[in-house]
């Protein structure tokens, strides 16, 4: 599992925004992954998607790496942010916008506002 941990560490630290998910950003394979990818896609965030279904070691390894039991998992600038429920809450509260702004991650603020309007 050391190889998976090293690989995960390189992926997490190698991109500004990384989403470990079931499936890909173009074709999510579960509802929770679809929700988070949908938010990021709609907001125009440039992110790396890692399909945990392609590698059992990565699938288990990411849970161990973050000490978080579920997938998807979102990382911003090497920091674990959360899973589907947390990202949903942060999107609706505006916290995700703030985090992106503080970290210098480009996103469409108007799209973020539209998500909140539609769910308000």
Annotated binding site for [2Fe-2S] cluster: 30
Nearest to 68 by CA among 12, 3, 10: 12
Cis-peptide into 72, omega within 30 deg: yes
> How far is the C-alpha of 106 from the C-alpha of 120, rounded, in Å?
24
Nearest to 84 by CA among 28, 26, 8, 46: 28
Provide the β-strand partners of residue 49: 19
Q: What is the dihedral of CA 64, 70, 75, 78, to 10 degrees?
A: -10
Q: Known binding site: residues?
A: 30
């Amino acid at each position: 599992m050391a190889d998976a941990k090293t690989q995960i560490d390189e992926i997490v630290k190698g991109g500004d925004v990384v989403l470990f998910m079931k499936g890909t950003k173009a074709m999510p394979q579960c509802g929770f992954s679809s929700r988070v990818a949908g938010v990021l896609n709609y907001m125009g965030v440039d992110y790396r998607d890692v399909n945990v279904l392609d590698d059992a070691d990565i699938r288990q390894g990411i849970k161990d790496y973050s000490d978080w039991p579920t997938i998807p998992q979102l990382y911003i600038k090497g920091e674990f942010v959360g899973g589907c429920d947390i990202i949903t809450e942060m999107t609706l509260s505006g916290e995700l916008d703030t985090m992106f702004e503080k970290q210098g991650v480009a996103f469409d603020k108007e799209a973020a506002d539209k998500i909140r309007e539609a769910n308000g």
